[in-house]
Amino acid sequence: MTEATSDARTRIDETVKSNPVVLFMKGTKTMPQCGFSSRVAGVLNYMGVDYADVNVLSDDAIRQGIKDYSDWPTIPQLYVKGEFVGGCDIITEMTLSGELDQLFEQNGVAYDKDAAEKIREANG
């Protein structure tokens, strides 16, 4: 493990553990720079979830490091209370099934239940 790799892992670990909800994404929550990141950020934004966003495009060590950290090959990656939840497809499925609501409730993460329901209605 190189020093840069070790440093990236430490920074990722601290970010994941110090924020209840973290989205590692391409771009930012206000300016996503890929469709998959935009979809997940859009769901979280619409549901009113307070989350930290980490732009992997601004740091190559973090961009590769997050893939190694989660052992998951793609970005975006969502973490809730220090646990890796999934990428775009998994978050989309969990949103539509109501599992994401349950995960937020179990972890004390505030979100707009009505907004979550509207997403399901629109995609039902």
| 62 contacts 12 by C-beta, under 8 angstroms | yes
Q: For 33-79, what is each residue's pLDDT tens digit? A: 999 999 999 999 999 999 999 999 999 999 999 999 999 999 999 99
Which of the four pLDDT bands, split at 50, 70 and 90, describes residue 1?
Answer: low
Q: Is the pLDDT of residue 102 over 90?
A: yes
Q: How far apart are CA 60 and CA 123, in angstroms?
A: 35
Q: Is the pLDDT of residue 120 over 90?
A: yes
Q: For 2-34, what is each residue's pLDDT tens digit? A: 777 789 999 999 999 999 999 999 999 999 999
User: Beta partners for 23?
Assistant: 53, 78
* Residue for token pair 């599992």: 99
DSSP E strand stretches across 1-124? 21-25, 52-55, 77-80, 83-86
